[in-house]
Amino acid sequence: MLVVRAINENDLDALYSMATQVGTGMTTLKPDMKMLGDRLATACASFAETIPPEQRDYMFVMEDTSNGRIAGVCAIKGAVGLTEPFYNYRIGTLVHSSRELNVFTKMDTLYLSNDLTGSSELCSLFLHPDYRQGHNGKLLSKSRFLFIAQFPHLFTQKIIAEMRGYQADDGSSPFYEGLGRHFFKMDFHHVDDLTALGKKSFIAELMPRQPLYIDYLPKEAQEVVGQVHKSTAPARRLLEQEGLHYEGYVDIFDAGPVLQARVSELRAMRDSELATVAPDTDMAHACAPAHPEPTLVSNTVLKDFRMIVTQATPVNGEIDLSTQDLQLLRCHMGDTVRTLPLNVRKNNV
Amino acid sequence: MLVVRAINENDLDALYSMATQVGTGMTTLKPDMKMLGDRLATACASFAETIPPEQRDYMFVMEDTSNGRIAGVCAIKGAVGLTEPFYNYRIGTLVHSSRELNVFTKMDTLYLSNDLTGSSELCSLFLHPDYRQGHNGKLLSKSRFLFIAQFPHLFTQKIIAEMRGYQADDGSSPFYEGLGRHFFKMDFHHVDDLTALGKKSFIAELMPRQPLYIDYLPKEAQEVVGQVHKSTAPARRLLEQEGLHYEGYVDIFDAGPVLQARVSELRAMRDSELATVAPDTDMAHACAPAHPEPTLVSNTVLKDFRMIVTQATPVNGEIDLSTQDLQLLRCHMGDTVRTLPLNVRKNNV
Amino acid sequence: MYVVRPVEAGDIAALEALAAVTMPGVHTLPKTRDKIEQAVERSIASFAAQVDIPSEESYLFVLEALAERKIVGTAAIFASAGSNGTYFSFRNDVIQQVSRDLNICHNVHALTLCSELTAYSQLSSFYVDEALQERPEAALLSRSRLLFAVQQPQRFGDRFFVPLAGVTDEKGGSPFWDALGRKFFKMDFLDAERVIGGARNRTLIVELMPHYPVYVPLLPGDAQAAMGQIHPSGELAFNLLTAEGFEADEYIDIFDGGPILQAHKHALRTFTSSQTLRVRTGDGQVPEGPLVNYAIANNAGPAFRAVTIACPELEGCEAVALSPELQDILRVAEGDSVTCVRV
Amino acid sequence: MYVVRPVEAGDIAALEALAAVTMPGVHTLPKTRDKIEQAVERSIASFAAQVDIPSEESYLFVLEALAERKIVGTAAIFASAGSNGTYFSFRNDVIQQVSRDLNICHNVHALTLCSELTAYSQLSSFYVDEALQERPEAALLSRSRLLFAVQQPQRFGDRFFVPLAGVTDEKGGSPFWDALGRKFFKMDFLDAERVIGGARNRTLIVELMPHYPVYVPLLPGDAQAAMGQIHPSGELAFNLLTAEGFEADEYIDIFDGGPILQAHKHALRTFTSSQTLRVRTGDGQVPEGPLVNYAIANNAGPAFRAVTIACPELEGCEAVALSPELQDILRVAEGDSVTCVRV
Q: Distance between CA A24 and CA A28 in Å, rounded?
A: 10
A182 and C215 within 8 Å at the Cβ level: the answer is yes
Backbone angles phi, psi at D217, to 5 degrees: -60, -20
Averaged over D37-49, what is the pLDDT? 95
Q: Distance between CA D79 and CA D122 in Å, rounded?
A: 7
Q: Which site among B109, B115, B199, B207 would you substitute to test the A interface, given the most A Cβ atoms closer than 10 Å to its Cβ?
A: B115
Q: Is the pLDDT of residue C24 over 70?
A: no
At B180-234, the pLDDT tens digits run: 999 888 888 888 777 776 666 677 678 888 899 999 999 999 999 999 999 899 9
At C239-277, the pLDDT tens digits run: 999 999 999 989 999 999 999 999 999 889 999 889 999
Nearest Cβ partner for B216 among D106, D208, D218 = D218
* Contact between residue A125 and residue A235 where contact means Cβ atoms under 8 Å apart: yes
pLDDT, position B83: 86
Please report the sign of the dihedral spanned by the C-alpha atoms of residue B48, residue B54, residue B56, residue B58: positive
Q: Distance between CA A248 and CA A110 in Å, rounded?
A: 9
Contacts of A112 in chain D (CB under 8 A): none
C95 and D115 within 8 Å at the Cβ level: the answer is yes
pLDDT, position B286: 63
Averaged over A103-111, what is the pLDDT? 93
Look at residue D16 and give its three-state secondary structure: helix
For the ranges A313-317, C206-210, D32-36, D257-261, the one whose mean pLDDT is highest:
D257-261
C→A interface, C-beta within 8 Å:
97-102, 104, 106, 108, 110, 183-187, 195, 203-204, 207-210, 212-215, 217-219
C203 and B209 within 8 Å at the Cβ level: the answer is no
Contacts of B349 in chain A (CB under 8 A): 149, 269, 272, 274
Residue D245 or residue D316, greater confidence: D245
Q: Is the pLDDT of residue A285 over 90?
A: no
* Contact between residue D165 and residue D256 where contact means Cβ atoms under 8 Å apart: yes
Question: Which positions of chain B have pLDDT values less than 70?
Answer: 24-27, 197-201, 204, 282-290, 346-349
Extended beta strands in chain D, E state: 2-6, 58-65, 70-78, 89-99, 104-114, 121-128, 159-163, 214-215, 247-252, 259-264, 275-281, 292-297, 306-311, 319-322, 337-342
pLDDT, position D57: 94
Percent of chain D at pLDDT > 70 equals 96
- List residues bridging with C91 in a β-sheet: C112, C251
Angle between helices B33-47 and B12-22 (to 10 degrees): 120
Q: Which site among A177, A209, A215 would you substitute to test the C interface, given the most C Cβ atoms closer than 10 Å to its Cβ?
A: A215
Start-to-end CA distance of chain A, whole Å, equals: 37
Nearest Cβ partner for A348 among B117, B211, B273 = B273
C98 and D206 within 8 Å at the Cβ level: the answer is yes
Q: Distance between CA C48 and CA C42 in Å, rounded?
A: 10
| Residues written for chain A | 349
Q: Which residues contact residue A34 at a Cβ distance below 8 angstroms, ignoring those fewer than 6 apart? A: none
Averaged over A307-312, what is the pLDDT? 93
A90 touches chain B (CB under 8 A): yes
At C267-310, the pLDDT tens digits run: 899 998 899 999 998 876 767 778 899 999 999 999 999 999 99
Element (H, E) at D61: strand D58-65
DSSP per-residue codes, B40-74:
HHHHHHHHTT-S-GGG-EEEEEEEETTTTEEEEEE
pLDDT, position B221: 96
pLDDT, position B72: 94
C207 and B204 within 8 Å at the Cβ level: the answer is yes
| Residues written for chain D | 343
C206 and B209 within 8 Å at the Cβ level: the answer is no
C203 touches chain D (CB under 8 A): yes
Residue A302 — pLDDT band, cuts 50, 70, 90?
Answer: very high
Nearest Cβ partner for C96 among D99, D118, D267 = D118
Averaged over A60-68, what is the pLDDT? 94
Percent of chain D at pLDDT > 90 equals 60
DSSP per-residue codes, C266-315:
GG-HHHHH-EEEEEEE--SSPPSS--EEEEEE---GGG--EEEEEES--T
Averaged over A101-108, what is the pLDDT? 90
DSSP 8-state symbol, A229? P
Element (H, E) at A341: strand A336-341
Buried b (16+ CB within 10 A) or exposed e, A40-78: bebbbebbeeeeeebebbbbbbbbbeeeebbbbbbbbbb
D231 is catalytic: yes
Averaged over D188-209, what is the pLDDT? 83
Look at residue C30 and give its three-state secondary structure: coil
In this structure, the number of other CB atoms found within 10 A of the CB of residue B134 comes to 11
pLDDT, position C200: 82
In this structure, the number of other CB atoms found within 10 A of the CB of residue B153 comes to 6
Please report the sign of the dihedral spanned by the C-alpha atoms of residue D25, residue D26, residue D28, residue D34: negative
B201 and C211 within 8 Å at the Cβ level: the answer is no
Residue C14 is which amino acid? Answer: A
Look at residue A287 and give its three-state secondary structure: helix
* Of the candidates C77, C72, C62, C56, the residue with the CA atom closest to the CA atom of residue C241: C77
* Of the candidates C301, C333, C287, C340, the residue with the CA atom closest to the CA atom of residue C318: C340
* Contact between residue C200 and residue C161 where contact means Cβ atoms under 8 Å apart: no
Q: Residue C207: closest CA among chain B residues belongs to which residue?
A: B204
Complex-level ipTM beyond the 0.90 threshold: no
Say which range, A251-260, C262-271, D196-205, D237-246, has the weakest mean pLDDT: D196-205
At B274-289, the pLDDT tens digits run: 999 998 776 666 666 6
pLDDT, position C261: 96
Percent of chain A at pLDDT > 70 equals 93
pLDDT, position B348: 39
As a whole number, the mean pLDDT across chain A is: 90
At D127-180, the pLDDT tens digits run: 888 888 889 999 999 999 999 999 999 999 999 999 998 999 888 899 999 999
pLDDT, position A348: 39
- Beta strands D121-128 and D159-163 are parallel
* Of the candidates D199, D214, D182, the residue with the CA atom closest to the CA atom of residue D30: D199
Please list the active-site residues of B.
229
CA C157 to chain centre: 14
Please list the active-site residues of A.
229
* Contact between residue C272 and residue C297 where contact means Cβ atoms under 8 Å apart: no
DSSP per-residue codes, C57-107:
-EEEEEEEETTTTEEEEEEEEESSTTTTS---EEEEEEEEEEETTTTEEEE
Q: Distance between CA C189 and CA A92 in Å, rounded?
A: 28
D67 touches chain C (CB under 8 A): no
pLDDT, position C27: 54
Residue D97 — pLDDT band, cuts 50, 70, 90?
Answer: confident
Residue B193 or residue C153, greater confidence: C153
Q: Distance between CA C216 and CA D30 in Å, rounded?
A: 41
pLDDT, position A349: 35
Buried b (16+ CB within 10 A) or exposed e, D51-68: eeebeebbbbbbbbbeee
Residue C45 — pLDDT band, cuts 50, 70, 90?
Answer: very high
* Contact between residue D293 and residue D309 where contact means Cβ atoms under 8 Å apart: yes
Q: Which of D106, D231, D264, D266 is catalytic?
A: D231
Residue A41 or residue C29, greater confidence: A41
Q: Is the pLDDT of residue A25 over 80?
A: no
Nearest Cβ partner for C86 among D85, D98, D115 = D98
Q: Distance between CA C204 and CA C223 in Å, rounded?
A: 23
pLDDT, position A292: 75
- From residue B139, alpha-carbon distances to A151, A228, A279, D67 in Å are 36, 43, 45, 98
| Chain B closest-CA separation from residue A179 CA (Å) | 21
Q: Distance between CA A239 and CA B284 in Å, rounded?
A: 38
D99 and B202 within 8 Å at the Cβ level: the answer is yes
Backbone angles phi, psi at C239, to 5 degrees: -65, -40
Angle between helices A12-22 and A33-47 (to 10 degrees): 120
**Angle value at C-alpha A81, between D187 and B210, nearest 5 degrees:** 70
Extended beta strands in B65-119, E state: 69-77, 88-98, 103-113
Gyration radius of chain D over CA positions: 22
- Beta strands B2-6 and B306-310 are antiparallel
Q: Residue B273: closest CA among chain A residues belongs to which residue?
A: A349
C211 and B209 within 8 Å at the Cβ level: the answer is yes
Backbone angles phi, psi at B313, to 5 degrees: -130, 135
Averaged over A108-129, what is the pLDDT? 94
- From residue C40, alpha-carbon distances to C46, C76, C163 in Å are 10, 11, 21
Q: Distance between CA B180 and CA B171 in Å, rounded?
A: 16
Q: Which site among D88, D96, D108, D250 would you substitute to test the C interface, given the most C Cβ atoms closer than 10 Å to its Cβ?
A: D96
CA D78 to chain centre: 9
- Beta strands A318-319 and A273-277 are parallel
pLDDT, position A29: 82
Residue A198 — pLDDT band, cuts 50, 70, 90?
Answer: low
Averaged over A324-347, what is the pLDDT? 90
Look at residue B165 and give its three-state secondary structure: strand
